[in-house]
Amino acid sequence: MKNKKLGLNSRMIHGGEFENPLGSATVPIYQTSTFIFKDADHGARCFSGEDDGYIYTRIGNPTIHALETMVADLESGSTGIATSSGMAAVNTLYMALLSKGDHIVSSAAVYGPSRVVMEQHWSRFGVESTYVNTANIDEVKAAIRPNTKMIYVETPANPTMDITDLEACAKLAHDNGALLVVDNTFSSPYLQRPLELGADAVFHSMTKFLNGHADIVAGMIVTREKELGKKLRSMMINLGCNMDPHQAYMVLRGIKTLGIRVERSQQSAMQIARFLEAHPKVEWVKYPGLESHPQHELAKKQMHGFGSMISFELKGGLEAGKVLMNNVQVAILAVSLGGVETLIQHPASMTHSKVSHDAKLKAGITDGLVRYSVGIEDVEDLLEDLKQGLDRI
Ligand SMILES: *Cc1c(COP(=O)(O)O)cnc(C)c1O
């Protein structure tokens, strides 16, 4: 077994680098801010990098290191950099990789704050941005300028579920001297590994699938190359957006069941998407597993499963959507996603409320769009719950 690479599920349980002198079965929480040097020379060697001993938790910590090496391996990358939240990962990437006068081409349908922070804040420091439907590679090509340094893609996109061709985007980025950065939150490394398709960096809001229990906020960046990893780690340390050891422990625990959670929830999602598509009160459904999804074939090729996020719009638009959201009894009305509990929310007034109305419409985020994140409850209960909610409209 020693020389054989274990499967994803086994690595989620046994992976992650951790020195284990006492033989504990799980990685303990090293709840300490600082580490004792053996002597003054040892301290100096730790700082110079000759010795890889721990110094201070913002710089590194054994519990966090176990998680970083775990997720880096799951993503087929070289370096993992844990952050306090998904947004801390986004801002670390922007700050480390973009300078005054640089330009970024981004998916128009992205997590609301990833766009808002670029348009309202990074713009103040002279970073330019263009938002296009990255599911259409010609739109990406047309948006590239001589100063484009980053193509930023979310696929499946939040909340439109559009799928972007990552191999084509990676090639386009590299042909133009830019990097491809991918928000892989919606898929988790269990279903999609963008670094294998040519992306330079991938990141997660581990608040979602990786942790999976709606009890922690956390982020992670993984790079393909070590050099890029060093640059990003240095920025994370200087920004001070490090993870806490307790957070790291919680996510390590969550990852152990990632495979079975994703399998269960995506099995239910397929059934729910088919139920919605056949329901007379439903105008449209977007789920990558449906043959009607415009990029269904690409999803089959690029992903290892279709995931558990569904967006749809009812025939009565927003008003009908509100009746449904106010009447579900098993699913809970809350933002976030990727947890064991099924969640329903309204992107236009909730997760994407700070994105301008025009930008939302251009990105396909209509007023009536409802987003549904399938959990691991009994699918019969979820179907019954939706049915009785739809009956009230
Ligand atoms: C939640 C989310 C983020 C932001 O992550 P936080 O952990 O909330 O900071 C970024 N991208 C996507 C796709 C998300 O769903």
300 is catalytic: no
247 lines ligand 1 (CB under 6 A): no
Catalytic residue (choose from 11, 58, 141, 253):
58
Which of the four pLDDT bands, split at 50, 70 and 90, describes residue 362?
confident
Radius of gyration of the chain (CA): 21
261 is catalytic: no
Q: Which atom of ligand 1 lies at the shortest distance from residue 206's CA?
A: 7
Complete DSSP assignment for 85-109? SHHHHHHHHHHHH--TT-EEEEESS
**pLDDT tens digits, 9-55:** 999 999 999 999 899 999 999 999 999 999 999 999 999 999 999 99
- DSSP state, residue 282: E
Q: What are the extents of the domains in the chain? A: 8-255, 258-391
Q: Is 346 helix (H, G, I), strand (E, B) or coil?
A: coil
Mean pLDDT of 262-290: 98
Are 90 and 117 in contact by the 8 Å Cβ rule? The answer is: yes
Which of the four pLDDT bands, split at 50, 70 and 90, describes residue 355?
confident
**pLDDT tens digits, 314-342:** 999 999 999 999 999 999 999 999 999 99
| Greatest C-alpha distance within the chain | 74
205 lines ligand 1 (CB under 6 A): yes
Which of the four pLDDT bands, split at 50, 70 and 90, describes residue 142?
very high
Span 258-391: which CATH code? Answer: 3.90.1150.10
Whose alpha carbon is nearest atom 8 of ligand 1?
86
Pocket test for ligand 1, best of 91, 106, 110, 111 (most atoms within 8 A of CB): 111
Which pLDDT score is estimated for 2?
60
**pLDDT tens digits, 297-307:** 999 999 999 99
What is the Cα–Cα distance from 349 to 344, expressed in whole angstroms? 13
Residue 387 CA, ligand 1 centroid: distance in Å: 30
111 is catalytic: yes
Strand 309-314 and strand 369-373: the pairing is: antiparallel
**H or E element in which residue 386 lies:** helix 379-391
**pLDDT tens digits, 189-225:** 999 999 999 999 999 999 999 999 999 999 999 999 9
Which pLDDT score is estimated for 269?
98
Share of the chain above pLDDT 90, in %: 93
85 lines ligand 1 (CB under 6 A): yes
Q: Is the pLDDT of residue 86 over 90?
A: yes
Residue 39 CA, ligand 1 centroid: distance in Å: 42
Which pLDDT score is estimated for 1?
62
Which pLDDT score is estimated for 3?
61
58 is catalytic: yes
What is the Cα–Cα distance from 20 to 205, expressed in whole angstroms? 28
Which is higher by pLDDT, 226 or 349? 226
Whose alpha carbon is nearest atom 2 of ligand 1?
205
Whose alpha carbon is nearest atom 1 of ligand 1?
205
Mean pLDDT of 136-165: 97
Cα–Cα nearest to 58, from 264, 244, 276, 185: 244
Which pLDDT score is estimated for 176?
98
Q: Is 230 helix (H, G, I), strand (E, B) or coil?
A: helix
Pocket test for ligand 1, best of 110, 185, 372 (most atoms within 8 A of CB): 185
Span 8-255: which CATH code? Answer: 3.40.640.10
Q: Is 44 helix (H, G, I), strand (E, B) or coil?
A: helix
- Full-prediction pTM beyond 0.85? yes
Strand 219-223 and strand 201-205: the pairing is: antiparallel
Which pLDDT score is estimated for 106?
97
368's CB contacts (< 8 A; 6+ apart) are: 283, 313, 314, 316, 317, 318, 320, 321
What is the Cα–Cα distance from 109 to 354, expressed in whole angstroms? 13
Catalytic residue (choose from 30, 111, 152, 372):
111
Complete DSSP assignment for 106-150? EESSS-HHHHHHHHHTGGGGT-EEEEE-TTSHHHHHHH--TTEEE
